[in-house]
Amino acid sequence: MVVSEAADFLDADLEAGKTYFVAVRPRMGAWRARFSLEPIAPSSGRWSNLTKWLDDSYVVTTNAAGEQWARDNQASVTAKRDKYLRAWLAKDERPALQRADEVSSH
């Protein structure tokens, strides 16, 4: 789940020890940006960007401010999850995450 003004979800059947890639994509909402989750698989047109994205990324760890934000916003996050998950589950077609090593390696 990714949450902002609304929430979005991604189906995934994950295996331990495997690597999966998902892009968080911003889009304009009514009041602020909304975000969607996009599976990035070897068959995706965006797969060629993956190496650069990984090279440009860095590990982020939770700090006290992040933990406080989570506590302060838990009710809002839960309400959005409950509201938007019902709509997500009702969709006939939903994006799903594909294991990267099933198709190709980067």
Of residues 33 and 77, which shows the higher confidence score? Answer: 77
Q: What distance in Å separates the CA atoms of residue 31 and residue 22, rounded to the nearest whole number? A: 25
- The pTM is what? 0.71
Residue with tokens 């009514």: 30
The predicted pLDDT at position 28 comes to 81
The predicted pLDDT at position 61 comes to 96
Phi–psi pair at 61, nearest 5 degrees: -115, 150
The predicted pLDDT at position 98 comes to 61
Q: What is the mean pLDDT of the segment spanning 13-21?
A: 88
Q: What is the mean pLDDT of the segment spanning 2-24?
A: 88
Using the 8-state DSSP alphabet, how is residue 5 labeled? S
* The two structure tokens encoding residue 88: 């997500």
Q: What distance in Å separates the CA atoms of residue 6 and residue 8, rounded to the nearest whole number? A: 7
* The two structure tokens encoding residue 63: 């700090």
Percent of the chain with pLDDT over 70: 92
- pLDDT by residue (tens digit) across 52-98? 999 999 999 999 999 999 999 999 999 999 999 998 899 988 877 76
CB-CB contact of 22 with 39 (8 Å)? yes
Average pLDDT, the chain: 86
Q: What distance in Å separates the CA atoms of residue 29 and residue 104, rounded to the nearest whole number? A: 35
